[in-house]
């Protein structure tokens, strides 16, 4: 009976999040400088007959401007939410997110270097490629710093990540100094934005996010076992060091593509898993997809707010920090208040 209740609860949670994502996307399609009825915008986006009064201008706005941006925002939130849940599960740290190990900073450094140097070696794939190289090298540096700990314990990895992130922060400041006339473009990109998102960007971020999520879900059971401790996991046939390395690489790959897609967007990977864990519980088989969907809803709603509601478009990274910061403070105080009463 308990298993059946858990299955129903999981289905309701994931179904509700999917419905919320679909509803948010439809509402976002109709919102903007040019108001379009949501039903009409949805028909245009799906290629359904909408009557003879749909102009070419409306179709162009929906299919070439709004739909790619909506998909990019949702895909980036999807990836950041999943990556945040993976980092928190691997590092056994509720404060972990893609920034904890410096992975996002490494991706940002690689992408910023590409922008400053004006590199276009591989066309549109150059920026994501440099972002991933930066993230991969950062992860390698973290593992190298923590090499003295053969088990690569979470506390050692977090400390190594803090050291690496500090160095990369100085590197980003140096790139801003060297950017000269490109410094405004670099700073605006680092603050995060989906302005100008195209179909290539949307397809890339969704492909990376879905691939990363499925890879992490494959090891979700092992991640659950690892939460019991390294010795317990090893006794149950799980290799903590190997699983931890694979999951960190998968989450780093997703984070790198998301950073290359939209710049640095904080607090999504930190706050979303916290909120979802209150509803789903600690089981990563449920937590990972639920965090991904909730991240997509949150980031899409935030992008719609800054694009279509606010009088001036605010960089999405700034907006998520303004929203996520107070929410995280509330969650943090509530968590510790519960401990004190206990």
Contact 183, 176 (CB under 8 A): yes
> What mean pLDDT, rounded, does the chain reach?
85
**What pLDDT shows up at residue 214?**
95
Cα(265)–Cα(108) distance, rounded to whole angstroms? Answer: 10
Residue 1: pLDDT band (50, 70, 90) is very low
> Using one digit for the tens of pLDDT, what is the confidence trace for 252-301?
889 888 888 888 888 888 889 988 988 888 889 999 999 999 999 999 99
Contact 134, 256 (CB under 8 A): yes
pTM here is 0.90
Q: Which fold has domain 72-341?
A: ABC transporter involved in vitamin B12 uptake, BtuC (1.10.3470)
Residue 149: pLDDT band (50, 70, 90) is low
> Using one digit for the tens of pLDDT, what is the confidence trace for 97-125?
888 788 888 988 988 888 888 888 877 77
Residue 81: pLDDT band (50, 70, 90) is very high
Helix (H) or strand (E) holding 331: helix 316-341
Residue 150 has pLDDT above 70, yes or no: no
3-state SS, 95-143, equals CCCCCCCCHHHHHHHHHHHHHHHCCCCCHHHHHHHHHHHHHHHHHHHHH
């Amino acid at each position: 009976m308990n298993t059946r209740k858990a299955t129903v609860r999981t289905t309701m949670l994931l179904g509700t999040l999917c419905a919320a994502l679909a509803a948010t996307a439809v509402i976002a399609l109709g919102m903007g400088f040019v108001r379009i009825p949501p039903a009409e915008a949805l028909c245009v986006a799906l290629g359904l007959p909408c009557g003879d009064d749909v102009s070419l201008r409306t179709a162009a706005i929906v299919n070439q401007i709004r739909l790619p941006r909506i998909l990019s925002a949702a895909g980036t939130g999807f990836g950041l939410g999943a990556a945040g849940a993976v980092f928190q599960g691997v590092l056994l740290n509720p404060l972990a997110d893609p920034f904890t190990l410096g992975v996002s900073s490494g991706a940002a450094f690689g992408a910023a270097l590409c922008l400053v140097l004006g590199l276009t070696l591989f066309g549109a794939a150059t920026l994501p490629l440099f972002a991933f190289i930066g993230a991969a090298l950062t992860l390698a540096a973290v593992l190298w710093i923590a090499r003295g700990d053969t088990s690569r314990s979470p506390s050692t990895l977090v400390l190594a990540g803090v050291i690496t992130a500090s160095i990369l922060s100085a590197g980003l400041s140096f790139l801003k100094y060297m950017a000269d006339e490109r410094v405004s473009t670099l700073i605006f990109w680092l603050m995060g934005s989906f302005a100008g998102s195209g179909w290539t960007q949307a397809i890339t971020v969704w492909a990376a996010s879905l691939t990363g999520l499925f890879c992490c879900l494959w090891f979700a059971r092992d991640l659950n076992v690892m939460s019991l401790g390294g010795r317990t996991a090893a006794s149950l046939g799980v290799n903590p060091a190997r699983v931890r390395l694979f999951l960190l690489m998968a989450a780093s790959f997703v984070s790198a593509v998301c950073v290359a897609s939209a710049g640095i967007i904080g607090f999504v990977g930190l706050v979303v898993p916290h909120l979802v864990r209150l509803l789903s519980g600690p089981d990563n088989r449920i937590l990972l997809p639920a965090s991904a969907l909730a991240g997509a809803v949150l980031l899409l709603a935030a992008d719609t707010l800054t694009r279509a509601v606010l009088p001036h478009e605010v960089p999405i990274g700034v907006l998520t920090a303004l929203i996520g910061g107070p929410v995280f403070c509330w969650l943090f105080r509530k968590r510790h208040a519960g401990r004190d009463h206990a």
